Amino acid sequence: CFAGTAADSYWVCKLVSSELKLLQLETKKQCRIITAVRLIKQLLFQYQGMLDVCLIVGGVDIHGSHMTTIYPHGSSDRLLYSAIGSGSMSAMSVFETRFIPNMTQCEASRLILDSVSASIFNDLRSGKSIDIVVILKDRFSQMNKIVHTKDER
């Protein structure tokens, strides 16, 4: 059972996922990432920010890899890296100091782990678990869940 922001995020993701599945069945083609982004942006714009949903949408389609950050009013950014939520300032400070283009998967995973860990440590409202998902053209894999406690450094 979800409430508040979690419920809004869950509802938006389920609704858009259903729409994309229907579109895929109708067209018999894999949906593009920009289609998911457009559906989410249109939905959030209709609610004028009343749905407190911030999402990072990423994936690979026929046009390559994509990552888009979507904000509650339906605006979006396409950046090389992104962090959203109450701990985003701490996470972005790690990204901004250590990000380099063309990182290896191992380097990128370490950077993500460190940036989210900084977020967890510096923000009481951030959760305590980290899920890292690696998305490749032909598959995706989820790394082991990492759980932190607030008093870890």
Q: Give residue-wise pLDDT tens across range 60-114.
A: 999 999 999 999 999 999 999 999 988 899 999 999 999 999 999 999 999 999 9
pTM: 0.87
End-to-end CA distance of the chain: 32
CATH 3.60.20.10, applies to 81-153: yes
Q: Which residues of 104-115 are buried (b: 16+ CB within 10 A; e: fewer)?
A: eeeebeebbbeb
Where are the domains positioned within the chain?
1-79, 81-153
**Topology (CATH level 3) of domain 1-79:** Glutamine Phosphoribosylpyrophosphate, subunit 1, domain 1 (3.60.20)
Q: Comparing 1-79 with 81-153, is the CATH topology the same? A: yes
Task: Provide the pLDDT confidence category of residue 47 given band limits of 50, 70 and 90.
Answer: very high
Taking the C-alpha atoms of residue 78 and residue 8, their distance in angstroms, rounded to an integer, is 22
Instruction: Tell me the percentage of the chain whose pLDDT exceeds 70.
Output: 93
